[in-house]
Structure formats: C-alpha cells, structure tokens
Copies of this chain bind each other. A is one copy, B any other.
Amino acid sequence: MRTVYSEDHRLQDGKFELLEGQFMKAHEMPRRAEIVIDRVRSTKLGEVLGPQDFGLDPILKVHDRGLVEFLRVAWDEWAATGRTFDALPHVWPVPGLGRRLSDSIDGKLGYYAIDAGTPITPGTWRAVLSSANVALTAQKLVATGEKSAFALCRPPGHHAGSDFYGGYCFLNNAGIAAQAFRDQGAKRVAILDVDYHHGNGTQQMFFARDDVLTISLHADPKQEFPYFLGYADEIGAGAGEGYHMNLPLPWGTDWQRYTEALDHALKRIAQYGAEALVISLGLDTFEHDPISRFKLAEADYHRLGERIAWADLPTLFVMEGGYAVEALGVNTVNVLMGFEQR
C-alpha cells in the first residue's frame, strides 16, 4: 500500500488547548504524524509519495466558501490585533440567540469554531491545505486503480463540517476525498469512521445525501466529546434518510464488543453497494490513549484492518485522531498491514 505524506503538517503546531477545564499542551502535535511515517518506512509498507496540488475546487464542493476563506486569513487577522500567541475562540453563538458574523476576529473564531481546543497558528492554513491535498492525492491513486492507499493527513478532519471547524480538525479530508470519488464517477461511496470520537463533521456534511453513506463507530456522546451529536437515532434527513448510521459504544468497549458494531457497519456497506470506501482512521480507541476510554489493544488493530479488507472495496485510509503518540505508529500500520493480510 502506498502512503501519501507531506512534511507541511509540521506547520500546525498549536501550543495549548482548553480541555475539560484546563488549559493544557495540545494533544494534536507534529510528533503524531512523524511517528506514523517512521513506522510506515521501517515496516516497508510501501512507497511514500508527496501530495499534488488540487487547488480549492474539490474543497469547495463540500465546504462553505466563508469557512475556507476564514481559515485562509484567520491568522493574519488575529496577528493584526498584535497577538503573537495562537488563536482560540472564547465566546460562541447560542442556538436561538442569533449568529451574526462580526467584523472582529474573535467573533469570527466563535462563529466558525465548535470548541476551544483547535488553535490557529501562523502555519495552520498551509498545513490544512496540504492535509487536504494528501487526501486527494491518495484518493486519486485508488480512483485510478490501486486497491488501497493511505493518506497520512495531519491535521485530521472528521470533526470539521461544511461550515465549522474544531476537534483539532479544520477541513474534512475524508469528506473531500469521498466527494472526489463521486465526481470521478463512483455512484455510491461509503465513509466508515473508526475514530474514538463521533465524526460529527462528516455526519453534518452528508446528512441529507444518499450518494455518500456515512457510518461512525464511537464513544457514546452521552459520555464523550462531541456530546451534542452522534446518537443512534440520527439516521439522515430528506434524501439522506437511512444513509447515516451512528453506532455509539460505552466507555470500556473492548475488541469483542467493538467488532459486533464493526460487523454491523460492514454489512450495511455491503448492502449499500458502495463502489469506494473511505476509512476515517482514528487510533484513539487504543487502551492507553490519554483522552479516551476504549480498550482496543495493539493486535486488535491488525484484526480491524483484516475486517475492513473483507468488504473487498477500493479503500482509502485517511488519518484522523490517536493521542497515545508513542504507540501510534505501530497501531496505525497494524491496521494497514492487517488490510493487506501481512
């Protein structure tokens, strides 16, 4: 399996996030991607390619132009106020209380963000754009005949929706890639999100559509971020009704319990008749993840890859979360090697 990777991800290097009442060192850090690419290389998983530049067009097919333009200029507007530290929002629009777009950068941050954990830095836009190009480059490999490819995206994407960002995500790499499959002729595309957290951005982006089936396995939002969305009764709307599936699982979920939900998801994908499969590959289901509470072990990731291979579809793996950094390389590549049955 070939991997697409760019060192531009290092340009996203936020210092702090507000998480559960504390202002702490950002969990989403450059070392995450470095340890994964090191493992890709040391295991000789396959060739490593740099990304091509696809421009903004494929991004704007799924993202609001206002969000994209905001992300492009946010750091400059922030820095113009004299601030040299990372940009975080501190106030947000309450449902029912109005949501006007202020001229102020602080107002814009709160307008577009869903959390105070996703810092915008001087290099954020270049890293974000590169991450989307990594996904699109890997998508192209699969669309042009490769059985599978690995988009080593950073920053991740599945919490970013059509017009909001957050959860360490700015643009939805998996969603952008799924749309590219559609635009290149695939009639039906499935996105399977195996990150520990609910893929709220992906859900929102495709909720009213039946041409992209979205399924998320995740920690129950009753207990976990992102809290407000990700419940089992959210099944799509309008033409998309029946084309979204949430499989929330409780804290403490181990491989046995996880695999029941996974098999259910894979059956639905088979029944749907997807022509391409995008995996939002988060590894924060790991038993030692510092911000998560599932109990998957190192060897389980090999099994996860095997199961995904049973779907027998052209498959694009897109990197999402995973914060047990030192284990992230092994766990990620275990999925990919499991997929290749080696």
Contacts and interface: CB of A to CB of B under 8 A. Distances in A.
A114 B92 contact: yes
A94 B164 contact: yes
A161 B97 CA distance: 9
Contact of A221 (B87, B100, B161, B200): B100
Interface string A161-175: 101101100000000
A107 B204 contact: no
Interface string A84-105: 0111101111111111101110
A192 B200 CA distance: 41
A54 interface: no
A95 B64 CA distance: 15
A21 B87 contact: yes
Interface in A252-269: none
A110 B92 CA distance: 10
A15 B221 CA distance: 29
Q: Give the size range of A's interface with the partner.
A: 35 or more
B116 A83 contact: no
Residue among A86, A222, A228 with the highest chain B CB neighbour number at 10 A: A228
Interface string A225-243: 1111101001000000000
A17 B337 CA distance: 46
B103 A117 contact: no
Given A103-B223, A222-B103, A21 B95 contact: no
A110 to B, nearest CB: 6
7 contacts: A91-B166, A91-B167, A91-B228, A94-B228, A102-B223, A103-B222, A104-B223
Contact of A200 (B21, B92, B97, B164): B97
Given A96-B163, A99-B228, 14 more contacts: A18-B23, A21-B78, A21-B85, A21-B86, A91-B115, A91-B225, A91-B226, A97-B161, A97-B200, A97-B229, A102-B221, A102-B223, A103-B223, A107-B222
A327 B102 CA distance: 31
Interface of A: 16-23, 78, 83, 85-88, 90-100, 102-104, 106-107, 110-111, 114-117, 161, 163-164, 166-167, 200, 204, 221-229, 231, 234
Give me the 9 closest cross-chain CB pairs, A-B, nearest first.
Answer: A107-B227, A23-B23, A91-B115, A102-B227, A93-B228, A98-B229, A103-B222, A18-B90, A92-B92
Nearest to A224: B104
A90 B21 CA distance: 7
Given A97-B164, A97-B200, A200-B97, A227 B91 contact: yes
A97 B229 CA distance: 7
